[in-house]
């Protein structure tokens, strides 16, 4: 009887755990890349009449949300059913943001004097870029995409 070893031959290459960790890390990297968005540090979507939005890429817009005359200069209007607020911070420039406050998720209710107001805890946001003007919110309102064609404002 020979005294051959009954133990399995040594396995060469990476351990199963190492392979699984590498696959998991690659999956996370892919997911994070897919979640990336275009660089828009102001968080706003600026649209000027005539559809001059700086690159909507010709995306089809939905039904008319409002007329440009419906959005007061220095103010705005909340469209609760669509979950957006449209502002006109300066004459002829229209912006749109989510109407959901970034503090506790309440719906903003009013826009006046260049400020979007949330009634729940008093957060205020800039009508020009959605940034926080007064807390407790710490994050700006996310931009919403609109198009302006003539006197029609549409969600994209």
- The pLDDT value given to residue 128: 96
Q: How much helix, strand and coil, in percent to the nearest 5, is found in the chain?
A: 15, 30, 55
Ordered by where they begin, the domains of the chain are 45-155 (2.102.10.10)
pTM of the model: 0.63
pLDDT in tens, 45-67: 455 444 444 344 445 678 899 99
């Amino acid at each position: 009887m020979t005294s051959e070893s009954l133990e399995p031959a040594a396995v060469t290459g990476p351990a199963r755990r190492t392979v699984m960790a590498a696959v998991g890390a690659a999956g996370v990297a892919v997911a994070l890349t897919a979640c990336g968005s275009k660089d828009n540090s102001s968080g706003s979507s600026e649209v000027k009449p005539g559809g001059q939005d700086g690159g909507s890429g010709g995306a089809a817009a939905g039904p008319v949300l409002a007329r440009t005359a419906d959005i007061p200069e220095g103010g705005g209007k909340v469209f609760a059913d669509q979950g957006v607020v449209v502002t006109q911070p300066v004459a002829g420039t229209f912006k749109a943001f989510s109407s959901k406050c970034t503090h506790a998720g309440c719906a903003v209710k009013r826009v006046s004097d260049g400020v979007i107001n949330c009634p729940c805890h008093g957060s205020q946001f800039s009508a020009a870029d959605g940034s926080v003007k007064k807390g407790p919110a710490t994050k700006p309102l996310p931009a919403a995409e609109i198009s302006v064609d003539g006197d029609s404002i549409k969600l994209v």
